[in-house]
Amino acid sequence: MPLLLEHKDDHTEARLQGELTIFNVEKSQDELLSLLNHKEVILDLSELSELDGCGAQLLAILQIEAQRAGKRITLLANNLVIEHTMQCLGITAVHPSKGH
Determine the pLDDT at residue 79. 80
The structure's pTM equals: 0.83
Specify the CATH number for the domain of residue 75: 3.30.750.24
What residues make up the domain containing 23?
3-98
What does the pLDDT look like over 30-43, one tens digit per residue? Answer: 999 999 999 999 99
What does the pLDDT look like over 7-64, one tens digit per residue? Answer: 998 999 999 999 999 999 999 999 999 999 999 999 999 899 888 889 988 998 998 9
Alpha-carbon distance 7 to 22, whole Å?
A: 29
- Number of domains comprising the chain: 1
Question: If we measure between CA atoms, which residue out of 99, 50, 51, 53 comes closest to residue 76?
Answer: 99
Alpha-carbon distance 33 to 84, whole Å?
A: 23
Question: If we measure between CA atoms, which residue out of 28, 22, 23, 69 comes closest to residue 14?
Answer: 28
